């Protein structure tokens, strides 16, 4: 797989989250811009640290995608911000490359005079949380026109809401880069985005880092539909098992892994009421559901190898040309694309939904056999799936169990943290 720079990865993340609420994406980029300028003015962070802190800041409100708080985020003085702060912290701690920095997001709305009372809080975490908090509130103030003179407003919060250290740091950064002027002019949004993405451009990600970031994007869908992410993990595991049993080369298995991992990424742009609809979708709703493939293509935006992109984008195509979105026929569908198409079906049939229990082996095998005989699915791949069904599904359960345990733990930890944070 070709190297994806963090600049390109940032674009993929933004395009993904933009399908939920573009206001928070634009806000995240502007806050990351302020964070970038403050880090540069401070001058003590290396390029990798700047990259990671800016990336973290860009997605600092990811927890709001799970809550009802999005409409309340664009106010200078917010009410209950703990829900989205805790969700964001848990997401970043367990399902992102930023586990060591996750506490920054947990406390990114906590006032300074309360932060300094928290036992054992690392100095850097406190400082970075304050920097995100200040940058966040400055952008909200600029965008809403609240607060009058921002520097005067910050002075009223010195050593109360914000530490003197970060207020002075912002003041120095503002003198150097005219931050307030740039943020106050809407035409600068493109330039601001460019500067942030340039900062995220180096160093390039390793293959392991690419995988971690792509998983983070996929897991973000769970903040809207847990069934979708479980289905994605299962589809990816089934695809890999099938590929190995069919004797595919390691490079092909890797391509299949990434293609399967990303195959339903576009569902982040489908309304939850359609994703979670308890029954058969109406023709109109199904038309909307089918657009998830087009959304996936738009999110990828040419950043993926064509082989991987096609695996992801062709999982609903059928051998006889009756599939979607392109109506492609068997002769142009590669073995890798056929594998993921079948794995997707098995995962869907085997999965539990709000309106159905998981189908048993006999029913799944019957459906696959019928689809094969009707010329919809690849005969060879279906035969391997049926012949090794038990072996495949045991391995799939073993692969998926640790991830599902993480989700269970997140729900427990959320409840525990809510009780603790209410007393801060």
Overall average pLDDT of the 364-382 stretch: 98
3-class SS at 320? strand
Is residue 114 a part of any domain in this protein? yes
pLDDT tens-digit readout, 170-226: 999 988 888 888 887 665 778 898 899 888 877 777 778 888 888 888 887 766 667
Residue 22: per-residue pLDDT: 79
The token duo for 49 is 């640290």
pLDDT for residue 365 is more than 90: yes
Same domain, 397 and 255: yes
Same domain, 316 and 343: yes
Same domain, 36 and 185: yes
pLDDT for residue 388 is more than 50: yes
The DSSP line for 276-297 is: T-SSPPPHHHHHHHHTHHHHHH
320 bridge partner residues: 329
Closest CA to 224 of 263, 255, 270, 166: 270
Same domain, 11 and 126: yes
Q: Identify whether the C-beta of residue 105 lies closer than 8 Å to the C-beta of residue 89.
A: yes
Closest CA to 56 of 20, 92, 23: 92
Which among 172, 205, 238 is the end of a domain?
Answer: 205
Is residue 277 a part of any domain in this protein? yes
Q: Identify whether the C-beta of residue 392 lies closer than 8 Å to the C-beta of residue 385.
A: yes
Contacts for 7 with CB less than 8 Å, ≥ 6 apart: 197, 198, 200, 201
Residues in the chain: 424
Model confidence at 76, pLDDT cuts 50, 70, 90, reads: very low
Which among 146, 173, 205 is the end of a domain?
Answer: 205
CA distance 326 to 56: 37
Same domain, 242 and 124: no
The DSSP line for 242-257 is: HHHHTT--HHHHHHHH
Domain that holds residue 384: 224-410
Is residue 219 a part of any domain in this protein? no
CA 6 to chain centre: 14
CA distance 289 to 316: 12
Same domain, 200 and 236: no
pTM above 0.85, yes or no: yes
Which among 162, 178, 205 is the end of a domain?
Answer: 205
pLDDT for residue 282 is more than 70: yes
65 or 403: which leads in pLDDT: 403
Same domain, 243 and 188: no
Q: What percent of the chain has pLDDT over 90?
A: 58
CATH of the domain at 128: 1.10.3210.10
Is residue 98 a part of any domain in this protein? yes
Mean pLDDT for the chain overall: 88
Is residue 416 a part of any domain in this protein? no
Contacts for 148 with CB less than 8 Å, ≥ 6 apart: none
Is residue 211 a part of any domain in this protein? no
Helices (H) and strands (E) in the chain, counts: 22, 0
pLDDT for residue 74 is more than 80: no
Contacts for 34 with CB less than 8 Å, ≥ 6 apart: 134, 135, 138, 139, 170, 173, 179, 183
Residue 404: per-residue pLDDT: 79
Same domain, 131 and 238: no
Same domain, 146 and 185: yes
Same domain, 360 and 233: yes
Phi first, then psi, for residue 374 (nearest 5°) are -85, 0
Q: Identify whether the C-beta of residue 55 lies closer than 8 Å to the C-beta of residue 10.
A: yes
Model confidence at 366, pLDDT cuts 50, 70, 90, reads: very high
Cα-based distances in Å from 342 to 74, 260, 270, 365, 368: 44, 11, 23, 12, 8
Overall average pLDDT of the 122-138 stretch: 96
Number of structural domains, the chain?
2
Same domain, 173 and 287: no
Cα-based distances in Å from 248 to 24, 40, 381, 388: 42, 48, 12, 16
Is residue 420 a part of any domain in this protein? no
Q: Give the CA count within 13 Å in the CB-facing half-sphere of 125.
A: 19
Residue 148: per-residue pLDDT: 67
Same domain, 178 and 29: yes
Is residue 216 a part of any domain in this protein? no
């Amino acid at each position: 797989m070709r190297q994806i720079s963090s600049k390109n990865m940032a674009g993929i993340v933004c395009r993904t989250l933009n399908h939920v609420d573009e206001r928070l994406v634009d806000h995240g980029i502007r806050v990351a811009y302020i964070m970038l300028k403050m880090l540069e003015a401070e001058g003590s962070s290396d390029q990798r640290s700047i990259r990671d802190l800016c990336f973290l800041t860009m997605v600092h409100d990811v927890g709001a995608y799970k809550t009802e708080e999005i409409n309340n985020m664009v106010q200078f003085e917010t009410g209950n911000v703990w829900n989205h702060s805790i969700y964001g912290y848990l997401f970043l701690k367990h399902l992102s490359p930023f586990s060591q920095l996750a506490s920054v997001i947990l406390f990114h709305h906590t006032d300074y005079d309360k932060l300094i009372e928290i036992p054992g809080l690392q100095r850097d975490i406190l400082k970075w949380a304050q920097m995100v908090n200040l940058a966040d509130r400055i952008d909200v103030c600029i965008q809403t026109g609240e607060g009058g003179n921002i520097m005067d407003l910050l002075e009223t919060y010195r050593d109360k809401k914000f530490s003197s250290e970060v207020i002075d740091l912002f003041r120095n950064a503002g003198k150097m880069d005219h931050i307030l002027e740039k943020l106050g002019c809407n035409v600068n949004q493109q330039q601001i985005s460019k500067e942030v993405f340039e900062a995220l451009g180096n160093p390039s990600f390793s293959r392991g880092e690419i995988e971690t970031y792509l998983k983070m994007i996929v897991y973000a869908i769970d903040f809207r539909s847990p069934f979708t992410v479980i289905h994605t993990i299962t589809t990816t595991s089934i695809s890999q098992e099938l590929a190995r049993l069919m004797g595919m080369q390691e490079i092909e298995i890797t391509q299949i892994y990434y293609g399967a991992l990303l195959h339903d990424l576009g569902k982040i742009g489908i309304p939850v009421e359609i994703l979670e609809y308890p029954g058969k979708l109406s023709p109109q709703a199904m038309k909307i559901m089918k657009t998830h493939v087009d959304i996936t293509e738009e999110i990828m935006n040419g950043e993926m190898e064509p082989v991987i992109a096609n695996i992801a984008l062709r999982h609903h195509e059928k051998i006889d040309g009756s599939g979607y979105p392109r109506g492609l026929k068997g002769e142009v569908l590669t073995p890798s694309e056929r594998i993921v198409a079948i794995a997707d079906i098995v995962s869907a049939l085997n999965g539990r939904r709000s309106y159905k229990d998981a189908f048993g082996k006999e029913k799944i095998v019957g459906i696959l056999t019928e689809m094969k005989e009707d010329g919809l699915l690849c005969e060879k791949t279906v035969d391997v799936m049926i012949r090794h069904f038990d072996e495949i599904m045991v391995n799939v359960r073993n692969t998926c169990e640790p991830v599902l345990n993480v989700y269970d733990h997140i729900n427990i930890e959320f409840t525990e943290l809510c009780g603790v944070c209410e007393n801060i």
